[in-house]
Amino acid sequence: MIILVTAEYIIFTTITGVLLGTFYGLATIGLSFTFGILRILNSGHGSLVMIGAYISYWSFALLGLPPLISAFLAFAIGFLIGLILYHGLISRVLGGPELISLVLMFAFGIFLQEVAKFSWGASPRGFTLSLGSVNIFGYEYPLTRVIGGVVSAVVVLVLYVFLFRTKSGNAIRSVVEDPEGASLCGVNVSRVYALSLAIALGLTVASGALSTLFVSGGIEPYMGDLYTTRAFAIAVLGGLTSPFGSFLAGLLFGIFENLSYMTLSLANVGNPFSMTRFLTFAMILLVLLVRPQGLLKR
Amino acid sequence: MGIRTHRSLLLLLALSVVLLFIRTVIPETRQIVSILFFYIALSEVFNLFTGLTLYVCFGYVAFVALGMYGGGATIKYLLSSPNPQPLWVVFVCSFAVAGILALILALIVGWISIRLKGAYFAIATIGLNEGLKNLIEGTGIWGGSSGLIIANDLIRAYNYETFIFVTTDLADYLIFTVYIITVMCIYLVTKSRLGYGLAALREDEEAANVMGVNVVGYKLVVFVISATLAGMLGAGKMIKDVAIYPPQAFAISYTVEAIVISMLGGLGTVTGPIIGGLAYGVLKYMLTVSFPGLQLLALAPALMVMCVVFPYGIVGWLKRRFKGGVIESLLT
């Protein structure tokens, strides 16, 4: 098969890369949020994406809700999980060694995976929601993915407004700067931690619900592992503690992934999919060599 | 330097010898003991870097997998000649190649990423694992996604009895040897100039740097030593498994299990990995036997509770509980 590389095709690939990237960005923001505020590496990140995908699947299968609506439900459930997790476990290990929270979150991730496997089985599930397609520079692209990308971007915008324009947002940012100082100024640090973890997990679970728009099948208990490694890579590209840096890095990651896949398929490389992933990770190492502090930090 | 200073080392060796003894006397325990050996060796190797620097490398399993590939490919190459070398030559070569490959990879990755501090380093190295896996799958080297299998080569070059001996007994002893070498390395490093530098670095990296400790160099040295040993451990595992497939070899769960065992036992302690490894391995095995298929569902909450109860690991907890007694001096 020969695809002629036209300028339109490259633009099309870039635009779809941006749409995919907004989703990647949303799926990573929760990770850098938890790390930036609570100093916790959420090693069970992918399992929460998986839970979101299942929520979206069951809302569609049982209630007929499209993923765009179930994403809100997913956010609410993730928010609740975050609150319970914080008050039940995380608050007890915060004073301990930094790495213990990593083990704890990893165990929590396995727990979610096994609960999913126990209740819904290990075989992959999937559904397709079709709303027609749009024409981008002469190439057809499913409309649902466009909507998914736009919704991800809107959610990130809302988060920005919340962090920079509201009182709770200011409290969160002050805790990031200096927890002790914030506490002296009357900020309830423990409440800020709980709220931040809840928001972060809510966003992650919601991104899982939106993931079904991009990947129609393959909802299974262990699907999250892929998102864990990817989100970690994107987060470090974005500077790890900055949610909006993560979002930008996600965009870059999406564009790079799409363009490199296009080039490699044209060059007839044996396994373009694997090579693309190798190149994205090699790119991250290169970026780190030049800018170890991430993209956005000065 | 009397016997008192080496007490903890003696305890460790005694425990290891007991395990080895159980394995030879009761053949039924062979399988679980060999799994335990691998876990203990893995977390001891991991502990050499992480315990001494408090840096975590998420791509750690890449070194083990590279060692498996390097060792396996060497064995395959040497056995493909019409009159193969004796067994020990083949294995020595495979261990050497595995170690050298891991050393080279560690030098490259370490040179780039070891300047990063703490969690930044941890997350930066996560790409190492995925990158290497996708490189092997993408370019198709070493069998690509269909894996590298050496069972037939071993049977053809020697005979079936030798093959059985190699995979059941010899592989375990080789893994055990790597483990003993690692323990010795940790002991030697902690008692050397390097070890004191690292201790300063653990307490306060910036202060250590100001005081003239070459922090980047010191971190790189232990990282490379630890990665080389991990590669050799991989060569041992390759002889045990006689086959390797990219998805299993690069499973992140190995790295995380190493972290879990080190944390559970007590990070930065020499006795931690063996106690953590025994606790984790036995717990996992018992849960598998009593709730087949549901072992992870039971293991995960148990781990979460352990994190809350023993945030400094079992060894850390014991040390605090029995401060100043004989038990404290036994645990290092």
| Per-residue pLDDT tens digits for B217-239 | 888 999 999 999 999 999 988 88
Q: What sections of A166-188 are H helices per DSSP?
A: 167-177, 179-184
Q: Give the tens place of pLDDT for each residue, B45-86.
A: 888 888 888 887 877 888 999 999 998 888 888 888 777 778
Question: Under an 8 A CB cutoff, do B129 and A229 touch?
Answer: yes
Alpha carbon distance B18, B274 (integer Å): 12
Alpha carbon distance B284, B282 (integer Å): 5
Helix (H, G, I), strand (E, B) or coil at B78: helix
Whether residue B219 lies inside any domain: the answer is: yes
Domain count, chain B: 1
Question: Under an 8 A CB cutoff, do B304 and A284 touch?
Answer: no
Interface of B with A in 107-136 (CB under 8 A): 109, 112-113, 115-116, 118-120, 122-124, 126-131, 133-135
Task: Show residues of chain A in contact with B123, CB under 8 Å.
Answer: 41, 232-233, 235-236, 240
pLDDT of residue A48: 94
pLDDT of residue A201: 95
Report which of residues B62 and B10 the model is more confident about. B62
Q: How many CB atoms within 10 Å of residue A115?
A: 15
Structural element, H or E, at residue A139: strand A139-142
Alpha carbon distance B332, B321 (integer Å): 15
Smallest Cα distance from A127 to chain B, Å: 26
Does residue B330 carry a pLDDT above 70?
no
Label residue A9 exposed, middle or buried (CB < 10 Å: 0-12, 13-18, 19+). Answer: middle
Alpha carbon distance A24, A231 (integer Å): 7
Q: How many CB atoms within 10 Å of residue A4?
A: 6
Q: Given CB atoms, is B96 within the 8 Å cutoff of chain A?
A: no
Interface of A with B in 120-159 (CB under 8 A): none
Alpha carbon distance B241, B235 (integer Å): 10
CB B250 within 8 A of CB B67: no
Report residue B253's pLDDT band, with 50, 70 and 90 as the boundaries. Answer: confident
Q: Is the complex ipTM higher than 0.85?
A: no
Report which of residues B127 and A63 the model is more confident about. A63
Task: Show residues of chain B in contact with A101, CB under 8 Å.
Answer: 307
pLDDT of residue A197: 93
pLDDT of residue A287: 75
- From the list A96, A103, A285, which residue is nearest B112 (CB)? A285
Whether residue B323 lies inside any domain: the answer is: no
pLDDT of residue A52: 93
Q: Give the tens place of pLDDT for each residue, B160-194.
A: 888 888 888 888 888 888 888 888 888 888 888 88
Distance of CA A168 to the CA centre of its chain: 23
Alpha carbon distance A41, A32 (integer Å): 8
Interface of A with B in 241-270 (CB under 8 A): 269-270
Interface of A with B in 11-50 (CB under 8 A): 35, 39, 41, 43
User: Per-domain residue ranges for chain A?
Assistant: 7-290
Q: Give the tens place of pLDDT for each residue, A93-103.
A: 887 777 788 77
What domain range includes position B182? 30-265
What phi, psi does A178 have (nearest 5°)? -165, 100
Alpha carbon distance B172, B25 (integer Å): 15
* DSSP state, residue A64: -
Fold of A7-290: ABC transporter involved in vitamin B12 uptake, BtuC (1.10.3470)
CB A131 within 8 A of CB A216: no
Interface of A with B in 62-91 (CB under 8 A): 89
- Nearest chain B alpha carbon to A99: B263
Q: Given CB atoms, is A223 within the 8 Å cutoff of chain B?
A: no
Smallest Cα distance from B324 to chain A, Å: 22
**pLDDT tens digits in sequence order for chain A, 298 residues long:** 455 677 788 888 888 889 889 988 998 998 888 888 888 888 889 999 999 999 999 998 898 888 888 899 999 999 999 999 999 888 888 877 777 887 788 889 989 998 998 898 888 887 777 777 888 777 788 888 888 888 888 988 999 999 889 888 888 888 888 888 888 888 888 899 999 999 999 999 999 998 888 776 678 888 887 788 788 888 878 877 788 888 888 998 888 888 888 888 877 766 777 777 778 777 777 777 777 666 666 5
- From the list B115, B123, B134, which residue is nearest A232 (CB)? B123
Distance of CA A143 to the CA centre of its chain: 21
Which amino acid does the sequence have at A170? N
Q: What sections of A185-242 are H helices per DSSP?
A: 189-214, 224-237
Question: Under an 8 A CB cutoff, do A281 and B128 touch?
Answer: yes
- Nearest chain B alpha carbon to A239: B120
pLDDT of residue B228: 93
Whether residue B18 lies inside any domain: the answer is: no
How many inter-chain contacts (A to B, CB under 8 Å) are there? 148
Question: Under an 8 A CB cutoff, do A269 and B138 touch?
Answer: yes
Helix-helix angle B30-53:B252-265, to 10 degrees: 80
Report residue B328's pLDDT band, with 50, 70 and 90 as the boundaries. Answer: low
Beta bridge partners of A140: A135
Which residues, including other chains, have CB under 8 Å from residue B218's CB and lie 6 or more apart? B194, B197, B198, B201
Q: Given CB atoms, is B140 within the 8 Å cutoff of chain A?
A: yes
Q: Given CB atoms, is A292 within the 8 Å cutoff of chain B?
A: yes
Q: Given CB atoms, is A162 within the 8 Å cutoff of chain B?
A: no
Q: How many CB atoms within 10 Å of residue B67?
A: 33
Mutate which of B112, B123, B245, B259 to disrupt the A interface (most A C-beta within 10 Å)? B123
- From the list A89, A225, A274, which residue is nearest B304 (CB)? A89
pLDDT of residue A203: 93
pLDDT of residue B225: 92
